């Protein structure tokens, strides 16, 4: 039987984020029923391949590029239409704003049988005009995937998406890759710690993410300063790249913690997590945070805010700690560093608690957030829409 073509669409393949990782995973892990293609809507920024581009090349998955210049770029729309005809796509799945709405318009005009966009975050900046645009996008889409119940609520409340259009499919983790129980994984983590100048007997509290304001890394640094006041041997690693890096490095200098914090740039996530002892996120808003799931799969104790999707993943005191706010909120513009510091200090002083949270977190990911489960749920959704053969 001829394989059906699906197209996973992202704004860019670098820097690496949860949306891009999910899209590439859907392509690489596609079952034999599907022929995967990936479309990137920005030109390559350099000749060097990003880690995701390398993975796609190794899997021999075609990567197409259309330099979309805004939502009203008609020329790019015609280029998209030509691409869809040429590859014979029957399904398109967009993963980023604002290109998701653009893709729904052009793929609907082409009569593509399966049109989906995935919402990866709860955004604080939905304006009335954006709400109108996404209500239209939802009408043209067959389904809108939310990666958590918190994101589904955001879609209904702020974007005006009809509830019946929404399907919740959490992002998934390759639990075999993110497993620190092997001696090889531990060796990779030890090698990274050595490269960062951190002795093997010194605890490392880490963050692994895109360096952006959304991730609340300024708060992470304030937490670090409070911890260092009482646990001065602790070291902190902020792993990743992004537009906020310079400001974060400056902030670390301002509060006097540069000797205890490293900004090593991008590293293989599995190796970076193997170098951590505790995973701390102080994000202001999220969709589900793939690196949190990867940290839990890696048997790390995790500390997260009680916002957005985090309580769907982390059970306080069982699979991690949720120190603040005391009452759940969808988005937090500001977070108090002190409760995070108290939670991390508790973990630093209690190895048995670190171990129990890490093991429970691993089990939670294996049961609910595996990569194979994510891929099978997306493909089942594509198939249901194809079989139904009706309008959105």
Are residues 97 and 158 both part of a single domain? yes
Length of the chain: 392
Are residues 99 and 161 both part of a single domain? yes
Residue 335 maps to a domain: yes
Are residues 167 and 222 both part of a single domain? no
Give 165-205 pLDDT, tens digit per residue: 999 999 999 999 999 988 999 999 999 999 999 999 999 99
Are residues 157 and 241 both part of a single domain? no
CATH code of 204's domain = 3.40.50.2000
Structural domain count, the chain = 2
Are residues 228 and 327 both part of a single domain? yes
Q: Kindly list the strands in the beta sheet with 143-146, ordered across the sheet, starting from the edge strand earlier in the chain.
A: 63-65, 34-40, 4-10, 89-94, 114-119, 143-146, 166-168
Which H or E run contains 101?
Answer: helix 99-110
Task: Give ∠ CA 233-234-237 in degrees, rounded to 5.
Answer: 140
Structural domain containing residue 102: 4-172+371-388
Residue 109 maps to a domain: yes
Residue 148 maps to a domain: yes
Are residues 205 and 83 both part of a single domain? no
Give 81-136 pLDDT, tens digit per residue: 999 999 999 999 999 988 899 999 999 999 999 999 999 887 778 889 989 999 99
Are residues 262 and 168 both part of a single domain? no
Are residues 383 and 344 both part of a single domain? no
Residue 177 maps to a domain: no
Q: What percent of the chain has pLDDT over 70?
A: 97
Quote the tokens at residue 377.
């749920």
Q: Is the pLDDT of residue 1 over 60?
A: no
Are residues 329 and 201 both part of a single domain? yes
Residue 178 maps to a domain: no
Are residues 159 and 205 both part of a single domain? no
Single out the residue of 254, 306, 297 nearest to residue 279, CA to CA: 297
């Amino acid at each position: 039987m001829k394989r059906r073509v699906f197209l996973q669409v992202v704004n860019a393949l670098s820097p690496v984020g949860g949306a891009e990782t999910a899209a590439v995973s859907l392509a690489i892990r596609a079952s034999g029923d599907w022929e995967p293609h990936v479309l990137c809507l920005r030109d390559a920024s350099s000749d060097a391949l990003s880690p995701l581009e390398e993975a796609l090349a190794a899997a021999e998955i075609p990567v197409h590029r259309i330099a979309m210049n805004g939502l009203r770029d008609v020329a790019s729309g015609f280029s998209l239409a030509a691409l869809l005809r040429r590859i014979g796509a029957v399904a398109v799945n967009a993963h980023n704003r604002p290109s998701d709405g653009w893709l729904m318009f052009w793929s609907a005009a082409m009569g593509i049988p399966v049109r989906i966009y995935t919402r990866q975050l709860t955004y604080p900046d939905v304006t009335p005009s954006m709400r109108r645009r996404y209500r239209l996008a939802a009408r043209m889409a067959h389904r809108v995937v939310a990666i958590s119940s918190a994101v589904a609520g955001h879609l209904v409340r702020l974007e005006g998406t009809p509830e019946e259009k929404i399907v919740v499919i959490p992002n998934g983790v390759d639990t075999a890759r993110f497993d620190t129980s092997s001696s090889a994984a531990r060796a990779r983590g030890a090698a990274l710690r050595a490269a960062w100048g951190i002795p093997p007997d010194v605890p490392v509290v880490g963050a692994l993410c895109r360096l952006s304001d959304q991730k609340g890394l300024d708060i992470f640094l304030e937490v670090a300063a409070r911890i260092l006041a009482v646990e001065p041997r602790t070291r902190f690693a902020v792993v990743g790249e992004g537009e906020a890096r310079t400001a974060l490095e400056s902030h670390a200098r301002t509060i006097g913690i540069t000797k205890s914090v490293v900004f090593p740039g991008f590293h293989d996530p599995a190796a970076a997590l193997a170098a951590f002892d505790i995973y701390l996120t102080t994000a202001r808003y999220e969709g589900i945070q793939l690196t949190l799931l990867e940290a839990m799969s890696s048997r790390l104790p995790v500390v997260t805010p009680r916002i957005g999707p985090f309580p769907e993943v982390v059970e306080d005191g069982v699979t991690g700690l949720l120190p603040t706010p005391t009452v759940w909120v969808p988005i937090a513009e500001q977070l108090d560093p002190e409760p995070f510091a108290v939670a991390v200090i508790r973990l630093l002083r209690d190895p048995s608690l670190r171990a129990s949270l890490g093991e429970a977190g691993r089990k939670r990911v294996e049961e609910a957030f595996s990569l194979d489960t994510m891929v099978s749920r997306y493909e089942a959704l594509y198939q249901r829409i194809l079989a139904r053969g009706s309008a959105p």
